[in-house]
């Protein structure tokens, strides 16, 4: 069955049909692929024909191009963004019961790896406007057992890393930036120096999950660091703890980026800045369309970071979100709640959380955030349609 929703915007050109055959998506991976199809197909076929499926030349080439793009000394490709968090935590030599500070409002992976390694995740509040942790929040959670902190650059903009690094230095803590959502964002320090998000802490990590800003066609991830010693250790851990072939110095894991994925990523890396610009343009359109809607708060920008809009996340006035979401759905507009449940309420983390523990900002955000479709292939017509659908709900046509 197929249904059609027709809509009119001010000019007739805006008339579009949206059907189940061609529904609006949160992310349009197909449309993006079509534009680089020739190059991608050739690269994939070359990989298949070469049979160098593991550790082929494309992995090294991509690693070097990413080091160059990020201006970081070491990129260590690995199997996914979760491994990218786990491997550095194994390399730090932490002990059971050591505490790692993580935000309560993030994807599970950030805290999951901490618990998996027998460490203690300490889940903290985030800023009500930027959705990111701050230096002040982190500092309040530090105890004599704290060893590391994992700031997450949520939805596409960097935490205030200058301030966070000062706190980390003062308390002698490791810093892992979870940069799965903000690759390509620029952070500017007080002195005017600019660095890429993910290259400021001791370690940065990212995910190449297909829907991420730099996504491959399967799973993938990477670790970044300027510290050569740590890099060597992490390369060893990612390769079964192997120091030379069949000699294993430490317990490690098997975590590699496939050659095919590296070849795809190397092509997409060349487009990363242009992809970010397309997302920023879509975000600006939404910002403008929603500026007078009292019931909505549009994304607040970090003062010292650019925003690459992995997500465009609104805060919807208390109690209105379910009806708005339903109204959007009826118009063929998908929307998502990132994240509906604070980490400290997840059953899996029960043992780390005192009964009744609540963080008010995190609670409020879990009840009010709503992410709209945002991707690299959005047309004015599509943005017009989606934002009109939102505006009609609030009677702001
Ligand atoms: C996607 C994501 C991860 C995990 O990445 P995978 O590649 O799916 O393992 C970790 N942290 C954050 C914040 C993410 O968004």
CA of 198 to the centre of ligand 1 (A): 14
Compute the half-sphere exposure of residue 148: CA atoms within 13 Å on the CB side of its CA.
30
What pLDDT score does 169 carry?
98
Top pLDDT among 5 and 272 is at: 272
Q: From the alpha carbon of 152, which atom of ligand 1 is closest?
A: 13
What pLDDT score does 3 carry?
36
What pLDDT score does 243 carry?
87
Q: Which of 78, 86, 88, 107 to mutate to test the pocket of ligand 1 (most atoms within 8 A of CB)?
A: 107
Section 89-118 average pLDDT: 97
Strands 146-149 vs 174-178: parallel, antiparallel or unpaired: parallel
* Cα 19 from chain centre: 30
Top pLDDT among 10 and 339 is at: 339
| CA-proximal residue: ligand 1, atom 4 (nearest) | 81
What pLDDT score does 7 carry?
45
Whose CA is closest to 373, among 335, 326, 321?
A: 335
Ligand 1 in reach of 261 Cβ (< 6 A): no
CA of 249 to the centre of ligand 1 (A): 29
Section 345-350 average pLDDT: 96
Ligand 1 in reach of 110 Cβ (< 6 A): yes
CA of 56 to the centre of ligand 1 (A): 25
**Start-to-end Cα distance in the chain:** 31
Q: Please write the tens of the pLDDT for every residue from 234-249.
A: 999 999 999 888 899 9
Section 211-228 average pLDDT: 98
Say if residue 387 is exposed, middle or buried (CB neighbours under 10 Å; 0-12, 13-18, 19+).
Answer: buried
Name the percent of the chain lying above pLDDT 90. Answer: 92
What pLDDT score does 14 carry?
41
Q: Is the pLDDT of residue 173 over 80?
A: yes
What pLDDT score does 133 carry?
98
Strands 242-244 vs 221-225: parallel, antiparallel or unpaired: unpaired
Name the percent of the chain lying above pLDDT 70. Answer: 94
C-alpha distances (whole Å) from 77 to each of 8, 241, 341 are 47, 15, 30
3-state DSSP call for residue 16?
strand
Which run of H or of E encompasses 100?
strand 99-103
Q: Which of 26, 108, 178 to mutate to test the pocket of ligand 1 (most atoms within 8 A of CB)?
A: 178
CA of 109 to the centre of ligand 1 (A): 6
Ligand 1 in reach of 180 Cβ (< 6 A): yes
Q: Please write the tens of the pLDDT for every residue from 156-171.
A: 999 999 999 999 999 9
Which run of H or of E encompasses 371?
strand 369-372
What pLDDT score does 6 carry?
44
CA of 180 to the centre of ligand 1 (A): 5
Ligand 1 in reach of 80 Cβ (< 6 A): yes
Ligand 1 in reach of 107 Cβ (< 6 A): yes
CA of 207 to the centre of ligand 1 (A): 5
Q: From the alpha carbon of 220, which atom of ligand 1 is closest?
A: 7
Q: Which residues pair with 7 in a beta bridge?
A: 16
63 cis-preceded (ω within 30 degrees of 0): no
What pLDDT score does 312 carry?
98
Tokens in use for 78?
A: 């690995």
To 10 degrees, the CA torsion angle through 142, 147, 152, 153?
90
Section 54-74 average pLDDT: 98
Q: Give the mean pLDDT of the chain.
A: 94
Residue 123 · residue 111 · CB < 8 Å: yes
* Cα 190 from chain centre: 25
* Cα 353 from chain centre: 25
Q: Please write the tens of the pLDDT for every residue from 7-30.
A: 444 333 344 455 556 799 999 999
Q: Is the pLDDT of residue 333 over 70?
A: yes
Section 312-339 average pLDDT: 97
What pLDDT score does 15 carry?
42
Residue 317 · residue 291 · CB < 8 Å: no
What pLDDT score does 27 carry?
97
CA of 221 to the centre of ligand 1 (A): 9
Whose CA is closest to 323, among 335, 311, 340?
A: 335
Highest mean pLDDT, choosing among 18-22, 207-211, 393-397: 207-211
């Amino acid at each position: 069955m197929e249904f059609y929703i027709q809509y009119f915007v001010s000019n007739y050109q805006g008339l579009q049909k949206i059907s189940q055959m061609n529904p609006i998506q949160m992310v349009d991976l197909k449309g993006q692929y079509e534009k680089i199809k020739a190059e991608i197909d050739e690269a994939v076929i070359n990989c298949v024909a070469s049979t160098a499926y593991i550790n082929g030349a494309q992995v090294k080439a991509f690693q070097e191009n990413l080091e160059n793009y990020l201006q970081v000394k070491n990129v260590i490709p690995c199997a996914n963004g979760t491994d990218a968090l786990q491997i550095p935590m194994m390399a730090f030599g932490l002990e059971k019961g050591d505490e790692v500070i993580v935000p309560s409002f993030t994807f599970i992976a950030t805290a999951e790896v901490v618990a998996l390694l027998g460490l203690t995740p300490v889940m903290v509040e985030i800023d009500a406007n930027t959705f990111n942790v701050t230096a002040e929040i982190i500092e309040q959670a530090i105890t004599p057992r704290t060893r590391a902190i994992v700031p997450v650059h949520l939805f596409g903009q960097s935490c205030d890393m200058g301030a966070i690094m000062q706190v980390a230095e003062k308390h002698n803590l490791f810093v892992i930036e979870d940069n799965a959502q903000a690759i390509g964002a620029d952070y500017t320090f007080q002195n005017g120096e600019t660095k890429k998000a993910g290259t400021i802490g001791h370690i940065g990590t990212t995910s190449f999950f297909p829907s991420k800003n730099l996504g491959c066609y399967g799973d993938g991830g990477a670790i970044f660091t300027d510290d050569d010693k740590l890099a060597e250790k992490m390369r060893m851990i990612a390769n079964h703890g192997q120091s030379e072939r069949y000699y294993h110095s430490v317990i490690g894991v098997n975590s590699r980026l496939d050659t095919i994925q590296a070849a795809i990523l190397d092509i997409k890396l060349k487009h990363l800045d242009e992809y970010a610009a397309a997302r920023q343009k879509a975000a600006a359109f939404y910002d403008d369309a929603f500026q007078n809607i009292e019931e909505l708060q549009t994304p607040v920008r970090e003062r010292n970071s650019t925003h690459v809009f992995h997500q465009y996340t609104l805060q919807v006035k208390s109690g209105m979100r379910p009806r708005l979401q339903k109204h959007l759905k009826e118009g063929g507009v998908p929307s998502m709640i990132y994240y509906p449940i604070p980490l400290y309420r997840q059953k899996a983390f029960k043992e780390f959380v005192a009964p009744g523990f609540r963080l008010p900002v995190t609670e409020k955000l879990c009840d009010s955030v709503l992410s709209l479709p945002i991707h690299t292939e959005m047309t004015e017509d599509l943005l017009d349609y989606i934002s009109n659908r939102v505006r009609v709900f609030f009677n702001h046509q």
